[in-house]
Amino acid sequence: MCSKCYETLEHLPVKVNRIIDGKKVYCAGIYEKNLQKLIRGLKYHKQRDLAFYLAKFMFEYWQKITQETGFEVIPVPIFKTREKKRKYNHMTLVAEEFSKLSGNTVNCELITRIKDTKPQYKLSKKERAQNLLNAFKADKSKLITGKILLIDDICTTGSTFEEMIKELNKAGITDITCLAATTPFED
């Protein structure tokens, strides 16, 4: 990712993309062109250095939403066997870079993926919801500040955020905002 390519990345207008269980979900850009290449390179082609650029893209958008700090940045966790095979969780790398830029704290222990789910990209909205049912477990004892910022690379139907929000709410954690780098379509 060169600076010229980075400059071609376009943010969506700042607005709530959707509301899930009363929680705001923001999407920074559209999953196309160089932004799509950036995510694929990071996620599937072991180009870990791209985490900085995705975090920077997300942070620049986030700054337009709020200057507030004190959030726990929670990357969407992946199942332990998938992480072992891939050798990293790309969203953890993004969360670490996002935290350096924003001054917020990364918390990878608050919520874990306890179910080995299928990849979501070929599933319908109903299949996604079923696939993710009971996929996460929150541990309130790992809570640091109480203000949560869930981050993910792509928000298509919102099923991943929805299931994580449900689990966090069950644990009594309710101050939650969601930020995805991209959505496949502009609402």
pLDDT grade for 57, boundaries at 50, 70 and 90: very high
CA dist 131 and 143 (Å) reads 26
Q: In this predicted model, what pLDDT tens digit does every residue of 39-55 receive, in sequence order?
A: 999 998 999 999 999 99
- Report pLDDT for 22: 95
Residue 67 CA: distances (Å) to CA of 58, 85, 106 = 13, 37, 17
| DSSP three-state, residue 72 | strand
CA dist 2 and 52 (Å) reads 12
Residue span of the structural domain in which 112 resides: 3-183
In this structure, are strands 105-106 and 176-183 parallel, antiparallel, or unpaired? Answer: unpaired
Give the CATH number, domain containing residue 118. 3.40.50
CA dist 39 and 31 (Å) reads 9
Q: In this predicted model, what pLDDT tens digit does every residue of 124-151 receive, in sequence order?
A: 888 888 888 888 999 999 999 889 999 9
Q: How many domains, the chain?
A: 1
